[in-house]
Amino acid sequence: MQGYDASILLVSTGSMLSEKRSNPNRDSVHGFEVIDEIKFALEKECSHTVSCADILALAARDSTALLFIIASVFELYNVLTSGPSWEVPFGRRDSKGASLGGSNNNIPAPNKTFQTILTKFKLQGLDIVDLVALSDIYGKKLIDLIIVGNGLADFTLDQSYAAQLRTRCLKFGSDQNLFFLDFVTLTEFDNNYFKNLLASKRLLSSDRVLVTEPTINRVGEEICRELRAFRQAICQVHDQDGEHLFPDRSKRRDSKALQKNKLLIKTI
């Protein structure tokens, strides 16, 4: 809950409940086994040197480009664009605990009002530009239509898009009932997510907020017009994380468990 502190990797113990079990994370955060494999390989080569928090920070940057490499190998698309890159400073320390309550209370839900969402971003030291940029990043996610649907028609949606949703929405739940937030350029790191919103093609209630609030709409329109502005905003929000390193925290040898030995080892 404090940036890349790797608290989300911790499993529950007798005195601590894992953040993986929180409502925002339970059905949306995946890939923990990948971090475990990276941590295992690093510990084998240089034990107790690289923190889990640094691994997460690097993974966030490198996975942006990895998606497009995989797509290129399988020739899914003829034209692919990679995402931006940014410098990742080392020295993050792993959190000594998890906060299930903090995760439930501080991560914005997709049905919240604009002011609630913005307030939660500001509590993490982020601003309105960060909100727009990070919303666009999550445009590459698959969303379960059963989770986001409320059974009420939204007559402000583009009619052709609304028809697509109706054909996919089921009366009863299904694990396969998934839909891309950005359904136009699935494997390209671009600003089409926000272009879709401006064209009234949106899936979440929070998406609508991004284009109906005048202040945030101006930011979104700039990102929509200029891809470079979007890329710069992405780099800026990740650069801020490097300003919040925690020298009083430990490094974990196991990404899932707390360490009894709190000795701090020099980072790479």
pLDDT, position 264: 32
pLDDT averages per 10-residue partition of the chain, 268 residues: 79 91 85 91 90 88 63 45 71 88 85 82 82 66 51 76 76 59 71 80 75 70 65 62 48 54 33
For residue 249, what is the DSSP state?
S
How far is it, in rounded angstroms, from Cα 81 to Cα 105?
36
255 half-sphere exposure, CB direction, 13 A CA radius: 23
> Is 19 annotated in some ligand binding site?
yes
How far is it, in rounded angstroms, from Cα 130 to Cα 119?
12
Q: Which CATH number fits domain 7-243: 3.90.78.10, 3.30.470.20, 3.30.70.2740, 1.10.420.10?
A: 1.10.420.10
pLDDT, position 60: 80
Q: Is 265 helix (H, G, I), strand (E, B) or coil?
A: coil
Decide: 249 and 265 in contact? Cβ < 8 Å: no
Decide: 70 and 63 in contact? Cβ < 8 Å: no
pTM of the predicted model, to two decimals? 0.68
How far is it, in rounded angstroms, from Cα 144 to Cα 152?
16
> Is 182 annotated in some ligand binding site?
yes
Decide: 267 and 51 in contact? Cβ < 8 Å: yes
For the chain, helix (H) and strand (E) counts, in that order, are 12, 2
pLDDT, position 203: 77
Write out the two tokens for 236.
């800026």
Per-domain boundaries in the chain: 7-243
> Is 185 annotated in some ligand binding site?
yes
> Is 3 annotated in some ligand binding site?
yes
How far is it, in rounded angstroms, from Cα 215 to Cα 61?
28
φ, ψ (nearest 5 deg) of residue 142: -90, 135
Decide: 49 and 265 in contact? Cβ < 8 Å: yes
pLDDT, position 268: 33
pLDDT, position 42: 92
Decide: 134 and 93 in contact? Cβ < 8 Å: no
pLDDT, position 96: 86
> Is 222 annotated in some ligand binding site?
no
N-terminal to C-terminal alpha carbon distance within the chain: 24
pLDDT, position 247: 46
> Is 28 annotated in some ligand binding site?
no
Please name the residues in contact with 45: beta carbons below 8 A apart, sequence gap of 6 or more: none
